[in-house]
A and B are shown apart, each in its own frame.
Chain A
Amino acid sequence: MFNSIICGKYYPIQSSIHNLNPISKIICTLLFLITLLFINNYWLFGLLLAFIIILIIIARIPITLIINSILGLKWLIIFIFIFDYLVTKNITLAVSSSSRIILIVVYTSILTMTTKPKDITYALEQLLWPLKLFKISTEQLALIISLAIQFIPNVIEQANKILKSQASRGIDFKYSNIRGKILALTTMLVPLFILSFKRADDLADAMEIRLYGYDKTRTHYRLNQWTTYDNNIVVLHMMILIIFILSEVVWL
């Protein structure tokens, strides 16, 4: 059931997007998310979608992978659409909300498919440096976020194994009615939590064995270089943000 959700899985090929500095990619993701917040116009959504498609082509990610990850969240998207419509009674707003979710999923999939988890950790650690002024360990924070992203495919794999076990005992999520599906999902939670906590404990032990400790100063094995391409992609995203906000204002 969860096979189509591939958010978090790195897609190992060479492309211009793969070679960008992870810091620039995270900055661009933030700029993109801010852009999404400000627009409500279908044409602008369409242009953003076209921009994303160009990025996917440059990143050489198969479009079927992206479509599969959207389809994996289809029930969430449908739920958001219906919920928004019922609350606001405005079909435009409902479509906007659903479109935002789809674009967020697609863009963040590009980020995680083109950036290794350790590079995401590095980028987050660098970008969160202002928190050091408040004596917050940015290394730890970045590692927590990176491990959370890395664990998504593991949790999905675990969930699939549990669903298969249930199916062999007569509760098949795939072929059940709504009652059966709810039962399958609720009874999945107990083993999923227990196994996830156990895996987290094992990981913590493994890190301690390898002398990971918050009192020690850590360096980086490899330093990522900032190039002209990174400048260009960040400037491009800033321009998109400004242009789209202005377009939204003009349209209004």
Chain B
Amino acid sequence: MDVVFDNVCFTYNRNIPIANEVLKEVSLKMAKNKINAIVGPTGSGKTTLVELINGLSLPTNGRVMVGDFIVDHNIDKHKINLLRYKVGLVFQFPEEQFFQTTVKQELAFGMQYFHHKIKINERISEVLKMVGLNDSFLDRNPFKLSGGEKRRIAIAAILMFDPEIIILDEPTVGLDNGGRKSLINLIRRLKYFYRKTVIVISHDVDMLYQIADFVHILNKGELIASGSKYEVFNDIELLLENNISIPKVAAFTRKVYDKKGLNLGKYYEINDLIKMVYKHVQ
């Protein structure tokens, strides 16, 4: 499913003195079966933007089109529930998304009120496998898992509904290098193997440079730029203006080009770049 924002505005605490306009006429398109990255400084409206996609918040003006669903302030509540089967949202802190004291109950939460028990048990095993875990986690307390495992259980809980779109809010925050790498591989698997549309909010631009297809930059509620990761992340001036970190690979290739006039080509992973530079040096 494509996701299209059409002149979307959103204001918190409307009609009272502490009203805050968080999104201002945002129009963008997120491509199907691709990894779409949303970047921007803190408070730019990234989380609010993704909450509009699955109807957690409704636009003050404008509309969001998610496949055949139109999310605006008139949307029917039954349609919102149907939409949430299609769009899964994993929040930044997994602890805020656990409601039960075992992984099995946690994964079954939500589905157990709509589906038969046998189907749920089969699905639980399937999603654990999808996120790289196994059935030995079923009786464990999700609050007592490691950071990476909690993150994966949170994603698995959303995958129970088999959504077409998965939204990940800061998935790598607080993870060590190993956890980060396995999460990056998981995101790739979701796109390539399971054919999901993935939307990632992150400040980890190096990760996004590796895995994203398209990048959308938000700042102070406005869409600043939208395009392929190569176009957006290699516009160093744009990133600096909007207080966004520059991916190391992009910074290095730009520096080499500025100093030596040498175009190193398109590399997205630091290891590939190092190999190429080593080859030239040899």
Chain A interface residues (CB < 8 Å from chain B):
3, 62, 64-65, 68, 158, 161-162, 164-172, 174-175, 183, 187-188, 190-191, 194-195, 198
Contact: B110 with A171, CB < 8 Å?
A: yes
Given A3-B13, A164-B91, does the pair A169, B110 have CB atoms closer than 8 Å?
yes
Of all chain B residues, which has the CB nearest A64? B16
Q: Give the segment of B95-103, B212-220, B228-236 that binds chain A.
A: B95-103
Is the beta-carbon distance between A169 and B17 smaller than 8 angstroms? no
CA distance A171 to B80 in the complex (A): 11
Partner of A175, one of B80, B91, B98, B113: B80
Does B15 sit within 8 A of A, measured CB to CB?
A: yes
Q: How far is the CA of A188 from the CA of B161 in the complex (A)?
A: 20
Among A3, A161, A187, the residue within 8 A (CB) of B109 is A187
> B99 contacts which of A161, A164, A187 (Cβ < 8 Å)?
A187
Q: Is the CB of A190 within 8 A of B99?
A: yes
Residues in B neighbouring A188, C-beta threshold 8 A: 99
Query: Which chain B residues border A175 with CB–CB below 8 Å?
Result: 77, 80-81
Query: What residues of A have a CB within 8 angstroms of the CB of B40 in the complex?
Result: none
Q: Would you call A191 and B109 a contact (CB within 8 A)? A: no
Q: Given A165-B91, A168-B158, A172-B81 in contact, is the A158-B96 Cβ separation under 8 Å?
A: yes
B114 at the interface (CB under 8 A from A): yes
Which chain A positions have C-beta within 8 A of B111? 170
1/0 per position for B87-108, CB-CB distance to A under 8 A? 0110100011111110000000
Which of B17, B85, B99, B113 contacts A65 (CB under 8 A)? B17
Of the listed residues A167, A188, A198, the one surrounded by the most CB atoms of chain B closer than 10 A to its CB is A167
Give the size of the chain B interface in residues (CB under 8 angstroms).
32
B256 within 8 Å of A (CB atoms): no
Q: How far is the CA of A162 from the CA of B109 in the complex (A)?
A: 14
Sample of 11 further A-B pairs with CB below 8 A, known A65-B17, A198-B95 = A3-B13, A65-B16, A162-B99, A165-B96, A168-B88, A168-B89, A170-B84, A183-B113, A191-B95, A191-B99, A195-B95
Identify whether the interface residues of A are mostly helix, strand, loop, or mixed.
helix
User: How far is A166 from B91 in the complex, measured between Cα atoms in Å?
Assistant: 11
Say yes or no for B157: interface residue by CB 8 A criterion: yes
Check B69 for interface membership: any CB of A closer than 8 A: no
What's the minimum C-beta distance from B272 to chain A, rounded to whole angstroms? 36
Known contacts A195-B95, A195-B96; decide if A164 and B56 are in contact (CB<8 Å): yes
A13's nearest neighbour on chain B, judged by CB, is B17
Choice from A166, A168, A171, A191 contacting B54 with Cβ under 8 Å: A168
Chain A nearest CB: distance from B8 CB in Å?
18
Residues of B within 8 A of A64 (CB): 15-17
Are the C-beta atoms of B84 and A190 separated by less than 8 Å? Answer: no
Q: Which chain B residues border A68 with CB–CB below 8 Å?
A: 16
- Candidate in B85, B96, B111, B114 with the most chain A CB atoms within 10 angstroms: B96
Closest to B100 in A: A190
Please give me the residue from chain B that is nearest to A188 by CB atom: B99
Residue B143 contacts which of A165, A168, A194 (CB distance < 8 angstroms)? A194
Smallest CB separation, A18 vs chain B (Å): 16
Contact A170 B161, beta carbon cutoff 8 Å: yes
CB-nearest residue of chain B to A168: B89
Chain B residues whose CB sits within 8 angstroms of the CB of A195 once the complex forms: 95-96
Chain A residues lying within 8 Å of B157, measured Cβ to Cβ, are 169
Nearest Cβ on chain A to B53's Cβ, whole angstroms: 10
Tell me the complex Cα distance, A183–B114, Å: 14
> With the chains together, A194 CA to B89 CA distance in Å?
22
B13 / chain A contacts, CB cutoff of 8 Å: 3
Q: Which 8 pairs from chain A and chain B are nearest by CB?
A: A169-B110, A170-B110, A175-B77, A165-B97, A187-B99, A168-B89, A64-B16, A62-B17
Contacting residues, chain A, for B110 (C-beta < 8 A): 166, 169-171
- Can you list 20 A-B contacts with CB-CB less than 8 angstroms, sorted by A residue number? A3-B13, A64-B15, A64-B17, A162-B96, A164-B91, A165-B96, A165-B97, A167-B56, A167-B84, A169-B161, A170-B81, A170-B111, A171-B109, A171-B113, A172-B84, A175-B81, A187-B100, A190-B101, A191-B95, A191-B99
B51 interface residue, CB < 8 Å from A?
yes
- Shortest Cβ distance from B89 into A: residue: A168
A190 to B100, CA, bound (A): 7
> Given the complex of chains A and B, what is the CA–CA distance between A130 and B174 in angstroms?
48
